């Protein structure tokens, strides 16, 4: 595991008691709620909002993150939500080197983006080999910065529009169908309570 990357994220999560809302990402709910549950892999699971929602929908979840601080918080949130402990396997690992044990039906990579080193496209391409026929890869990314960041230099991760995600991942069309590729607006609240709308890139690939 890369100590520097882990230390960065542990420190970032350690700065406040809660970094994210605890709610599942809206794009995940929208795209996945009608899928029959199976085995899911949540990449960069953070504080567990998506993994907990997937478990509630009947998915058997493996939730991977490099930050033990985030995973401890996520496991507590799952416990508080009454999720059976065998529903979610919390895995502390660097996804640059980690490999799943078997096949899965869904990989969810929601905001699996980082301002520090992350070979994201390689990780995603490599892990597509673990998706069973008929399964899906969902990628949700920051596609535009909020206005309060636009006024300064953007120190966040590289931004990706949906069409850029599809091009960058370059999955072979004989094996993969692009089912959704949209830039969806989302309302956000800034550090001083400012309201704004930013775009999320939402891309769903289906394995033939």
Ligand X SMILES: C[S@@+](CC[C@H](N)C(=O)[O-])C[C@H]1O[C@@H](n2cnc3c(N)ncnc32)[C@H](O)[C@@H]1O
- Is the CB of 13 or the CB of 205 nearer to ligand X? 13
| Cα(28)–Cα(202) distance, integer angstroms | 9
Per rule CB under 6 A, is residue 106 in the interface with ligand X? no
Per rule CB under 6 A, is residue 159 in the interface with ligand X? no
Question: Under rule CB under 6 A, which residues in 6-35 are in contact with ligand X?
Answer: 9, 20, 25
Token pair 């956000």 is found at 188
- Is the CB of 107 or the CB of 110 nearer to ligand X? 110
Per rule CB under 6 A, is residue 5 in the interface with ligand X? yes
- Is the CB of 97 or the CB of 179 nearer to ligand X? 97
Per rule CB under 6 A, is residue 105 in the interface with ligand X? no
- Is the CB of 113 or the CB of 183 nearer to ligand X? 113
- Is the CB of 46 or the CB of 135 nearer to ligand X? 46
What DSSP string runs through the chain? --HHHHHHHHHHHHTSS-SS-SSPPHHHHHHHTTSPP-EEEEET-TTSHHHHHHHHTT-EEEEEES-HHHHHHHHHHHHHTT--TTTEEEEE--TTT---SS-EEEEEEES---SS---HHHHHHHHGGGEEEEEEEEEEEE-S--HHHHTS---SPPP--HHHHHHHH---TTTEEEEEEEEEEEEEE-TTS-EEEEEEEEEEEEE-
User: Which residue in 62, 63, 65, 146 binds ligand X (CB under 6 A)?
Assistant: 65
Per rule CB under 6 A, is residue 175 in the interface with ligand X? no
User: Which residue in 53, 90, 111, 205 binds ligand X (CB under 6 A)?
Assistant: 111
Q: How far is the CB of 12 from ligand X (least distance, A)?
A: 8
Q: How far is CA 187 from CA 91, 134, 150, 190, 204, in A?
A: 31, 33, 16, 10, 21
Per rule CB under 6 A, is residue 96 in the interface with ligand X? yes
Per rule CB under 6 A, is residue 67 in the interface with ligand X? yes
Per rule CB under 6 A, is residue 141 in the interface with ligand X? no
Interface contacts to ligand X, rule CB under 6 A? 5, 9, 20, 25, 44-46, 49-50, 64-67, 70, 94-96, 110-114, 118
């Amino acid at each position: 595991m890369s100590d520097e990357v882990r230390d960065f994220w542990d420190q970032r999560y350690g700065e406040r008691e809660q970094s994210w809302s605890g709610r599942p990402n809206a794009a995940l709910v929208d795209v996945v709620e009608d899928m029959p549950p199976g085995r899911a892999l949540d990449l960069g699971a953070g504080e567990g909002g998506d993994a907990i929602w997937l478990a509630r929908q009947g998915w058997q979840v493996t939730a991977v993150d490099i930050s033990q601080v985030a995973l401890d918080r996520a496991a507590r949130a799952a416990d508080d939500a009454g999720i059976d402990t065998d529903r979610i396997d919390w895995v502390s690992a660097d996804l640059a080197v980690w490999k799943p044990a078997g096949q899965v039906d869904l990989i969810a990579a929601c905001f699996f983006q980082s301002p520090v080193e992350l070979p994201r496209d390689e990780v995603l391409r490599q892990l597509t080999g673990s998706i069973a026929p008929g399964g899906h890869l969902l990628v949700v990314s920051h596609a535009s910065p909020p206005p309060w960041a636009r006024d300064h230099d953007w120190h966040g991760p590289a931004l990706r529009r949906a069409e850029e995600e599809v091009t960058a991942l370059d999955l072979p069309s004989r094996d993969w169908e692009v089912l959704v590729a949209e830039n969806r607006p989302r309302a956000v609240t800034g550090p001083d309570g400012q309201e704004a709308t930013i775009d999320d890139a939402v891309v769903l690939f289906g394995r033939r």
